[in-house]
Structure 1
């Protein structure tokens, strides 16, 4: 099975994450994720991998044994099984030889991938592009990763002259809702020294920094009263919450920021005049900036409580995930160096981008497994306009092979 057939086979298994089940603590949140895990496990067995395990939560791990007799750091590669919940429909993938201009995804529904809206597509003139029929996501996020990793393993098996140490692979569920799979992943049991996720991004893009992230739950307690006798008695918690929001820095919200600019994101407010609960996300690329934002919210909450009465405002601050950069400093930066060498060996110049979000590698890194992110080559994730240039997918597979090769060569040069 070549890399295209492999990817298309994965897209035929519906693995849409189920938000309600995930929030209820059910992992995997959808049956398709377990189906895909078992499907890939059978492929890994055919490829001769060992220690293949599919756990009850659909976390799949396996090992390609070393073909050298000296110790080599254990490198690992990760993808996630689920697709985002924007659309739950089955995927009907198609392949178009792209010659420029627009691609009609669905003539009947008038769904068109327009070059004017997505101009980067014209970088792929003369290439085959995989896309949907305009009624679903493609699922390249993140089935492209699974296809690239297994294609790389197949290449290593067919080319034993490429020396390598142990290679571990892992595929986890429910990344699309708070990285539930990676949070349940046991990095110590896994036994890798470092790793890479393949998740997002056009060819050449590389992620080694993302948000330090957390959220705040602010509770406003007012005092209800009948309006006929409310004067001097009614304390409206809804208005307290609105005043709190008005004291947040005006330009530091997602809609006003980009690149490495942090923000506060007012996400949800619910309640009545007696009690209102406000949910906010906190994001910053630097650790000091993130801590400063948490401190600001705590002080604002304390000040408002003094102003409106003791206990009228309380806040709960919760850390969600760290910037992967925190785990890739100094001597720990070697996974970046290896990836850059692999990119350039394939004629690809690394394009380092800050990820304004989280990914499995941020959780894995803070749990002791340094894990930057390499490209799959796909574009327009979470959209019916998602597409995958075939040459980019093949390039991702070649980068994986070279990371494995370079890791071994570096260790051999020390002996």
Structure 2
């Protein structure tokens, strides 16, 4: 099976994450994720993979054993085990089935849907100019393409297919894992048992255009602030009514001006007022806290705690409570010093494929951040797709092929560095 057909086959299974079921603790949150995992498990078996385990959570793992002759390993040297990860679910922005199509791009705009007049405009997506003359996978304008993250699944599976078809390519032990519900809090990665998996380092494929590479992202946390007021009938409210909604608004007004997602970029951190619900008697406010540096992240959490303490002094201790929780760390914290080698291997793999590495700070989370925090260093490779979470999502076929080629080279380089 060629890589394009493989990808298209995966997109025919609707794996939209279900936020309602996810919030209720159900994993996988959608039946399609298990359906896709079952298909992959069968394909892995057909490819001769070993130790295939599909759990009831839809977490799927498998192993490609080393094929290196013992005589090539000096002094009983062992080859580090490398792993590759992709997630099964697609984002909840669109819940429709995927209707993917292939267009040969000649330049200019792409009409995704004639009946609905949905156009992928070159003026709004100028990077399209890089793909003139190429085949591009697009949606019909009514759905997500699902390249986030089925392009990653296709790239990984294609590499395994190539390695099995070409046994002359020497490789150490390779492990793969496909995880559910990344799109709602990295739930699959959080449930993943790194220790029993047995890999030494790994890579997620969950990034964007060809050449992009992520080895730093947010230190992330969240805050839940509860404001408790005193209700009263408005005709007798004077001196009695304590409006929790107004307390919440006042709390928000005391957050640093300009440090919100809509005002920041690059490595600038923020406080994101994400959700507020309640009435005059009780209001619950939810915030996301993000910063690239550990010290900056700690400072932000301390600031929120101090702000809550100050408000308690102003309104009374029973009027406000705050709960602060860590969500995930910057993957860069796990890729320092001697642990940097996965970055170096990836850089060489890009170079061998004549791809310029474009290291970018990810203003978001991905499974590798959680896996790295658990002790498995795990930077993030490109899949080649653009416009994740959008009906304008598209995937150049050559970029998808390049993603698989980079995975193959990483496996080869890992082997070459340890054999005679």
Q: TM-score range by the shorter chain?
A: over 0.9
| 1:169 has 2:186 as partner | no
Pair 1:398 & 2:398 matched = no
Aligned position for 2:33: 33
Residues 1:109 and 2:116 aligned together: yes
> 2:59 corresponds to which residue?
59
Aligned mates of 2:3, 2:324 — CA distance in 1: 44
User: Is the 8 Å Cα contact of residues 220 and 276 (structure 1) preserved in structure 2?
Assistant: yes
Matching of residue 301 in structure 1 with residue 319 in structure 2: no
Contact 2:222 2:287 in 1 (8 A): yes
Structure 1 residue 230: Cα displacement: 2.1
Pairs within 5 Å for 1:168-207: 168-207=175-214
Alignment partner, residue 236 of structure 1: 243
* Conservation of the 8 A alpha-carbon contact between 1:200 and 1:381: no
Q: Distance in 2 between matches of 1:91 and 1:224?
A: 49
Q: Distance in 2 between matches of 1:286 and 1:412?
A: 38
What's the CA shift for 1:267? 0.8
CA displacement at 1:411 relative to structure 2? 1.4
CA distance in 2, matches of 1:262, 1:151: 38
Mapped to 2, the partners of 1:369 and 1:200 lie a distance apart of 19
1:156 to 149, 158, 163: 163
SS in 1 for 2:207: coil
Deviation at 1:135?
A: 1.1
Q: CA RMSD in A?
A: 0.9
The structural deviation recorded for 1:311 is 2.1
- Measured in 2, the distance between the counterparts of 1:293 and 1:131 equals 40
1:355 aligns with 2:362: yes
Q: Please point out which of 238, 248, 253 is paired with 2:260.
A: 253
Question: Partners in 2 of 1:192 and 1:165 — Cα distance?
Answer: 11
Q: Does 1:279 align with 2:290?
A: no
Q: Which stretch of the first structure deviates more once superposed, 217-226 or 142-151?
A: 217-226
Distance 1:190 1:159 in 2: 26
Residue aligning to 2:377? 370
Aligned-partner Cα distance in 2 for 1:198–1:107: 33
- Retained in 1: the 8 A contact 2:368–2:378? yes
Q: How far does the alpha carbon of each residue in 1:148-207 deviate from its partner, in whole angstroms, 9 at most, with x for none?
A: 001111111222222110000000111111111111110011100000000121000000
- Tell me what 2:295 maps to: 288
Question: Could you tell me how far apart the structure 2 residues matched to 1:323 and 1:353 are?
Answer: 13
Q: 2-side partners of 1:173 and 1:105: how far apart?
A: 29
Unaligned runs of 5+ in 1: none
Gaps of 5+ in 2: none
Give me the whole-angstrom Cα distance separating, in 1, the residues matched to 2:236 and 2:36. Answer: 63
Alignment of 1:212 with 2:206, yes or no, is no
Specify the alignment match of 2:50 in structure 1: 50
Aligned residues between the structures:
413
**What does residue 128 of structure 1 align with?**
135
Distance in structure 2 (CA, Å) of the matches to 1:412 and 1:321: 36
Contact map agreement 2:15 2:30 (CA 8 A) in 1: yes
Q: State how far apart, in whole Å, the 2-side matches of 1:269 and 1:27 are.
A: 26
Whole-Å Cα distance in 2 between the matches of residues 299 and 33 of structure 1?
43
- Displacement of 1:59 after TM fit? 0.5
Distance 2:218 2:263 in 1: 16
**1-structure distance, mates of 2:388, 2:226:** 35
CA distance in 2, matches of 1:241, 1:136: 37
How far apart are residue 226 of structure 1 and its match?
A: 2.4
Say whether residues 1:119 and 2:138 are aligned partners.
no
Please give the secondary structure, in 1, of the residue aligned with 2:418. helix
Deviations 1:11-67 (A, max 9, x none): 111111111011111101111111100101111111111001111011110000001
TM-score (norm 1): 0.98
Q: Compute the displacement of 1:236 (Å).
A: 1.2
Q: Which residue of 2 aligns with 1:265?
A: 272
Could you tell me the TM-score, scaled by structure 2's length? 0.97
- How far apart in 2 are the matches of 1:152 and 1:142? 16
Q: Is the 8 A contact 2:207 2:213 kept in 1?
A: no
Following superposition, the deviation at residue 331 of structure 1 comes to: 0.4
